[in-house]
Amino acid sequence: QVQLKESGPGLVQPSETLSLTCTVSGFSLTSYSVSWVRQPSGKGPEWMGRMWYDGDTAYNSALKSRLSISRDTSKNQVFLKMNSLQTDDTGTYYCTGIHTMGITADWGQGVMVTVSS
Amino acid sequence: DTVLTQSPALAVSPGERVTISCRASESVSTLMHWYQQKPGQQPKLLIYLASNLESGVPARFSGSGSGTDFTLTIDPVEADDTATYYCQQSWNDPTFGAGTKLELK
């Protein structure tokens, strides 16, 4: 059974860079695609971007200029970096597993990120 | 981006039947999925590809629709179903609806 666990700082200063790690167990990243999804409090989720099993990436066009997703297959980890953070980037950030046809079947527990000085 | 529109809230009594709707701004074929989220928890997949029940999800949940109009039905509703329900399309870059909050009377 696949498990995903997010880690990273809970507090980020405005204009700084957010760095998050998703550690995947139970499935190799060379055969499993991972997306990052964020959710402001009280609002619907927002897809941020995806690391495909073959190493290719895709990004939400609204975030593309600030966002980078990478991976380390030897550690089975996927990384998110997003720069120029503002207060409206505050929310819970989830690492999710993507099954066939884009089904977001697996979710990590999420990490709460607050952007504040 | 494909915009998904859901009604904001519903209140029903236990034992009743409830339908939650999701309308897409363009056709997404049957690439529509439904999630349940309880406070403080991550979303949980209920229905995938419009009408397929995820393993382990009670048969009280069902989904239907294609193109632009989709429905999640819970019949009968139980107290534990109090949650927010989201639709999500995967026809193109994924988008989610704003959610329908289900409350029990």
pLDDT in tens, A30-41: 999 999 999 999
Q: Is B3 on the interface with A (CB under 8 A)?
A: no
Look at residue A100 in the predicted model and tell me its pLDDT.
86
**How many CB atoms sit inside 10 A of residue B38's CB?**
13
Asked if B54 lies within 8 A of A105 by C-beta distance, the reply is: yes
pLDDT tens-place values along chain B, 105 residues long: 999 999 889 999 999 999 999 999 999 999 999 999 999 999 999 999 999 999 999 999 999 999 999 999 999 999 999 999 999 999 999 999 999 999 999
Look at residue A16 in the predicted model and tell me its pLDDT.
98
CA distance A92 to chain B (A): 9
Look at residue B8 in the predicted model and tell me its pLDDT.
84
Q: State how far the Cα of B47 lies from the Cα of B36, in Å rounded to an integer.
A: 10
Q: State how far the Cα of B20 lies from the Cα of A42, in Å rounded to an integer.
A: 18
- Find residues 68-97 of chain B whose CB sits inside 8 Å of chain A: 86, 88, 90, 93-97
Look at residue B14 in the predicted model and tell me its pLDDT.
97
Look at residue A87 in the predicted model and tell me its pLDDT.
97
- Closest by Cβ to A101, choosing from B49, B93, B99: B49
- Closest by Cβ to A47, choosing from B42, B95, B97: B95
Look at residue B7 in the predicted model and tell me its pLDDT.
86
Beta strands A111-115 and A11-12: pairing type?
Answer: parallel
Q: Which residue of A has its CA nearest to B101?
A: A42
Q: State how far the Cα of B5 lies from the Cα of B62, in Å rounded to an integer.
A: 19
What is the phi-psi region of residue A84: left when phi exceeds 0, alpha when psi lies from -120 to 50, beta otherwise? Answer: left
Asked if A47 lies within 8 A of B97 by C-beta distance, the reply is: no
At B46 the three-state DSSP class reads strand
Please give the helix or strand (H or E) that residue A68 lies within, else none. Answer: strand A67-72
CA distance B83 to chain A (A): 12
Asked if B1 lies within 8 A of A102 by C-beta distance, the reply is: no
Look at residue A102 in the predicted model and tell me its pLDDT.
87
Q: Prior bond to B76 cis, omega within 30?
A: yes
CA-based diameter of chain B, in Å? 37
At A101 the three-state DSSP class reads helix
> Are the C-beta atoms of A47 and B95 separated by less than 8 Å?
yes
What are A50-106's pLDDT values in tens digits? 999 999 999 999 999 999 999 999 999 999 999 999 999 999 999 999 988 889 999
Query: Does the structure show a pLDDT above 90 at A112?
Result: yes
Tokens of residue B59, six digits: 């048969």
> Are the C-beta atoms of B10 and B100 separated by less than 8 Å?
yes
> Are the C-beta atoms of B105 and B11 separated by less than 8 Å?
yes
- Closest by Cβ to B33, choosing from A43, A61, A103: A103
Q: State how far the Cα of B58 lies from the Cα of B70, in Å rounded to an integer.
A: 19
Averaged pLDDT score across all residues of chain A: 96
DSSP secondary-structure letter at A64?
T
Higher per-residue confidence, A110 vs A101 = A110
Read off the pLDDT band of A20 (50, 70, 90): very high
Q: State how far the Cα of B53 lies from the Cα of B33, in Å rounded to an integer.
A: 10
